[in-house]
């Protein structure tokens, strides 16, 4: 079963069921020196996060089940 779980998660990394999520900030958030006010709607591009070459390597478009154990925290958003 662990192999099946890794296969499913790698499939969701390659083709996420939900490509983006939107959230409305309830408190101020500072990112790279820019402060966003409460009420601002922010989007997280799950597809872009899951295909970031600086996190997943130059072969980020290739399915590799074994890479699941090598991921960095916050580099994968299960959906």
Position 75 in a domain: no
Number of compact structural domains in the chain:
1
Name residue 43's beta-bridge partners.
Answer: 22
Q: What pLDDT sits at residue 58? A: 80
Position 79 in a domain: no
CB 36 within 8 A of CB 28: yes
Q: What pLDDT sits at residue 67? A: 61
Please write the tens of the pLDDT for every residue from 16-71: 888 899 999 999 999 999 999 999 999 989 888 888 888 777 877 777 776 655 56
- 3-state secondary structure labels for all residues of the chain: CHHHHHHHHHHHHHCCCCCEEEEECCCCEEECCEEECCCCEEEEEHHHHHCCHHHHCCCCCCCCHHHHHHCCCCCCCCC
Domain enclosing residue 53, as ranges: 2-70
Q: 76 or 10, which is more confident?
A: 10
CB 65 within 8 A of CB 34: no
Position 30 in a domain: yes
Position 29 in a domain: yes
Q: What pLDDT sits at residue 69? A: 52
Position 36 in a domain: yes
């Amino acid at each position: 079963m662990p192999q099946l779980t890794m296969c499913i998660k790698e499939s969701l990394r390659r083709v996420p069921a939900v490509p983006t999520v939107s959230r409305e900030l309830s408190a101020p958030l500072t990112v790279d020196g820019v402060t966003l006010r409460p009420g601002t709607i922010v989007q997280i591009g799950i597809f872009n996060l899951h295909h970031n070459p600086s996190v997943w390597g130059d072969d980020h478009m290739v399915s590799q089940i074994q890479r699941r154990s090598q991921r960095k925290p916050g580099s994968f958003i299960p959906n």
